[in-house]
Chains A and B, each alone.
Chain A
Amino acid sequence: SYVLTQPPSVSVAPGQTATITCGANDIGRKSVHWYQQKPGQAPVLVVYDDTDRPSGIPDRFSGSNSDNTATLTISRVEAGDEADYYCQVRDSGRGYVFGPGTEVTVL
Chain B
Amino acid sequence: QTQLVQSGAEVKRPGASVKVSCETSGYSFTFYGVNWVRQAPGQGLEWMGWISSHNGETNYAQKFQGRLTMTTDTPTKTVYMELRSLTSDDTAVYFCARSGRTAGTTRPFEFWGQGTQVTVAS
A5 to B100, CA, bound (A): 25
Contacts of A76-98 to chain B: CB distance below 8 A: 84, 86, 88-90, 92-98
Q: Which of B46, B105, B114 contacts A98 (CB 8 A)?
A: B46
Asked if A43 and B112 sit within 8 Å, CB to CB, the answer is yes
A35, A84, A86 pick with most chain B CB within 10 angstroms: A35
Asked if A43 and B45 sit within 8 Å, CB to CB, the answer is yes
Contacts of B53-99 to chain A: CB distance below 8 A: 59-62, 95, 97
**Distance from B58 Cβ to chain A, minimum over Cβ atoms (Å):** 10
Asked if B59 and A49 sit within 8 Å, CB to CB, the answer is no
Q: Which of A54, A86, A95 contacts B44 (CB 8 A)?
A: A86
A45 to B99, CA, bound (A): 12
B: contact size bracket: 20 to 34
B45, B47, B108 pick with most chain A CB within 10 angstroms: B108
A33-B108, A35-B45, A49-B108 given; name 20 further pairs at CB < 8 Å.
A33-B109, A42-B112, A42-B114, A44-B112, A45-B110, A48-B110, A54-B110, A86-B44, A88-B108, A90-B104, A90-B106, A95-B47, A95-B50, A95-B60, A95-B61, A96-B47, A97-B47, A98-B37, A98-B44, A100-B44
A95 to B68, CA, bound (A): 15
Q: Return 8 A-B CB contacts under 8 Å, by A number.
A: A42-B114, A45-B110, A48-B108, A48-B110, A88-B108, A95-B61, A98-B45, A101-B45
Return chain A residues, CB-CB under 8 Å to B112. 42-44
Which secondary structure characterizes the binding site on chain A?
strand
Q: Does B119 contact A (CB under 8 A)?
A: no
**Distance from A96 Cβ to chain B, minimum over Cβ atoms (Å):** 4
Q: Binary interface profile of A, 34-66, with partner B (CB < 8 Å = 1, else 0)?
A: 010100001111001100001000000000000
A86 to B37, CA, bound (A): 13
Q: Does A31 contact B (CB under 8 A)?
A: yes
Given A33-B108, A94-B62, CB of A42 within 8 Å of CB of B113: yes
